[in-house]
Chains A and B, each alone.
Chain A
Amino acid sequence: MIGLDLGSTRAKLVRVVDGEVEFRSEVISPRWRELLDMVEAGESIATTGYFRHQVDGAEAITELTAARWGIRRLVPDAEVIVDIGGQDTKVQDLRTNRFVLNDKCSAGTGAFLEMVANYFDLGVEDLAAVASEAREPAKINSTCAVFAMSEMVSQLGGGASQADVVAGMHHSFAHRIAELVPEAERIVLVGGGARNGGLVSELSSILEVDLHVPDHPAFVNALGAMEYMTSSSPKV
């Protein structure tokens, strides 16, 4: 059985055999069709993410439903899911079934971190290590991604180090996300953004709670789509 999360920036595949994850794979989204080459004849597929409706014969569900099912398997007592994706951040309160999406501004999404990484000619995955060298994180006040970038450049112009500025950007990014998160004890972080340790610790200190990041957080939705398909609950 295959779960595919065809997200806006990256596409992920998980294969589950006898209830255990046997294999994971990931490509950039424009190449998502390459993942289909890994599907064996007769294997059933569940999809989620932006391109979910493009796979013939697959059962497609939204990322929000997929995240709920994935987290049910991995963190059964979770209260809130924060999914930091490439183009948006989705927050779901499992206690009230409320969800909010930050999709009007890139300041709280993976795209923002990518802008920062590109500026320094770094990979997004390098940002956390750079930020950990910070001595005095720069203050970035703007809530708009574009203005935050220009604030960042002025800080550099004023003599701040790369590490201080990257740490400041993490802080401002985490603030944007924290505004969406309801108070809870058991908050789980998923999606590509959850792989950024700098962001996780910033968010955790703003929310004053230990955040739970499951192993392979970027694959939770792919797993969830598959879990949903195999469940016996009413189908969408």
Chain B
Amino acid sequence: MVPPELVFGCGHTPHDLNNHVPTSECVPRAKLCAWTATWRDMLLRGELRVDRLVVVAGGDCHNALVDGQRVAHSGIPTHYFFYPFDGNEGEMRDHLVSLEAFLGGITDQAALDGVADIKDLCIQLDMARCRRQVLGSRVFNHLIQLCDLGGDPERFGASVKRALEDRPSDVPDIRIGLVGVPPIYPDFHEVCESFGMQVVFDELPWEFARMGGRTLTTMARNYAGYTFARDLEYRFDALERELGRRRVDGIVHYTQYACHHVLEDDMLRERLDLPMLTVQGDLPRICPEQERLRLEAFAELLRGGGP
């Protein structure tokens, strides 16, 4: 993720291209992972317009580096943002400083603080779902937007507060942890809920909420702990802690076709001692029938439907 507080603090409006992918009808031409290929082609075809592009080119995604360069080739000013593999805070700070320079320097500390306040609220929202006070789908739809806050922090903050205040009439009782990259299917959480499973943990959106800061130094400290960019042991330790704290009944490991994170599936299974279902998506679309079947069967299993 690109730190949104820094983009707002430098007087710009971030726009997370990934958020356009699940509902996009763009069919990318040459692709490995559909996430990066879709935003790449949407930019190249002019279906999305940006003034500058910041690509997370080291840390959590390898495909983005190449697809980002394809876009840079078309003339859009592009910056490559990196996360250190070893969690080195000094190096993290250097990357933040170089991003700040690309964006013209921090000019609006209030905007930066505003994002930090909203992230604090989002952490509350994230935990409220564990107490069954809010539906997992509603939490996910907010947390996933933390990369750009919908371009309008005020409106987004109000929406988070409403989600915290409202009480759903019914919350599914099976508790699921969703591990891996976010599903490319826009209705994935709702489908889980329709089978009686509440997603109480979304790995990447959880990172979006907990990383942040009000100064470059605190940001460097927090972002250096981005588990997706670190070695697998570090990430698995964090996962074990979070999944235990949230008392999940089972794990859904979402994997994306042609993403290197697919290779982590066996290691996750060895490490996490919980029932696990692996789902793989490719192109963005409504959750396909076969994935629904897997989820329904998993729900039956967790409910004790096995003899």
Interfacial residues, chain A to chain B (CB-CB below 8 A): 61-65, 68-69, 72, 88, 94, 97-99, 101, 103, 227-228, 231, 233-236
Contact of B305 among A65, A88, A98, A103 (CB under 8 A): A65
* A231 surroundings in chain B (CB, below 8 A): 307
Residues 259-307 (chain B) with a chain A CB within 8 angstroms: 275-276, 290, 293-294, 296-297, 299-301, 303-307
Contact residues in B for A61 (Cβ distance below 8 Å): 300, 305
**A101 in contact with B300 (CB, 8 Å):** no
Chain A contacts for B305, CB-based, 8 A: 61, 65, 68, 228, 233-234, 236
**A-B pairs with beta carbons under 8 Å apart, 11 shown:** A63-B297, A64-B297, A64-B300, A65-B306, A97-B306, A101-B290, A101-B293, A228-B305, A236-B196, A236-B300, A236-B303
On whether the beta carbons of A234 and B304 are closer than 8 Å, the reply is yes
The answer to whether A234 touches B303, judged by C-beta atoms less than 8 angstroms apart, is: yes
Minimum CB–CB distance for A97 against chain B, Å: 6
With A61-B300, A62-B296 as contacts: A103 and B307 at CB distance below 8 Å:
no
Inter-chain CA distance A99–B196, complex, in Å, is 19
Partner of A97, one of B293, B301, B303: B301
Total residue contacts A-B, CB cutoff 8 A: 49
List of B residues within 8 angstroms of A64 by Cβ: 293, 297, 300-301
Task: Give the nearest-CB partner of B289 in chain A.
Answer: A50
Which listed residue, A69, A101, A235, A236, touches B307 by the CB 8 Å rule? A69
A99–chain B nearest beta-carbon distance, Å: 7
Residues of A within 8 A of B293 (CB): 62-64, 101
**Which residues of chain A come closer than 8 Å to B275, judged between CB atoms?**
97
Q: A62-B296, A97-B306 are in contact. Are A103 and B290 (CB under 8 A)?
A: yes
Contacts of B301 in A (CB 8 A): 64-65, 97
New A-B contacts (13) at CB < 8 Å, excluding given A62-B297, A103-B290, A233-B305: A61-B305, A62-B293, A62-B296, A63-B297, A64-B293, A68-B306, A88-B290, A97-B306, A99-B297, A101-B293, A101-B294, A234-B303, A236-B196
Chain A nearest CB: distance from B172 CB in Å? Answer: 12
CB proximity of B197 to chain A, nearest CB, Å: 12
